[in-house]
Amino acid sequence: MRATQAELTTRPLTKSDFDPVVNIDAKITGRQRPGFFQKRLDAALAEPKHFIYLGCEYDGEIQGFLMARLLEGEYGLNKPVAVLDVIDVDPTVKGKGLGRALMHAFDTILEHKNIAETQSQAD
């Protein structure tokens, strides 16, 4: 059963979301990766216009997140591209529409920024 719109809220991630993000990822990968997420957070705080960091709340708690970088001029391309680094949803709320909500919010931001291409190695 999918969650209703009132139960789902997508929003930018904040520093206070760091521990929930690491914990959600650990449930999926089977290991804690705080160093990976700390590097991403530090880079995003240093140059926020080059990153998209979204969280999805379900019943008021972060239960999913998405992290992407925005690049332009890399690999000989003269157009901007979004690189999706990670998208995770807590397995306890699987099937509630959080992944779909995160991707919809991501697509909306990319459309607003006139970015038509996304690349990823995320599962």
Domain ranges (residues) in the chain: 5-120
3-state SS assignment for residue 88: strand
> Percent of the chain scored above 90 by pLDDT?
73
On the question of pLDDT at 1 being above 60, the answer is no
Phi/psi of residue 60, nearest 5 degrees? 85, 5
Q: Is the CB of residue 49 less than 8 Å from the CB of residue 90?
A: no
Residue 24's pLDDT is what? 97
Q: Could you tell me the two tokens for 93?
A: 């709320």
| 86: region left, alpha or beta (phi > 0 left; psi from -120 to 50 alpha) | beta
Q: pLDDT tens across 40-72, in order?
A: 988 988 899 999 999 999 999 999 999 999 998
Count of positions (residues) in the chain? 123
Inform me whether the pLDDT recorded for 85 exceeds 60: yes
β-strands 51-58, 61-72 pairing: antiparallel
Amino acid at 77: L
The fold of 5-120 is: Aminopeptidase (3.40.630)
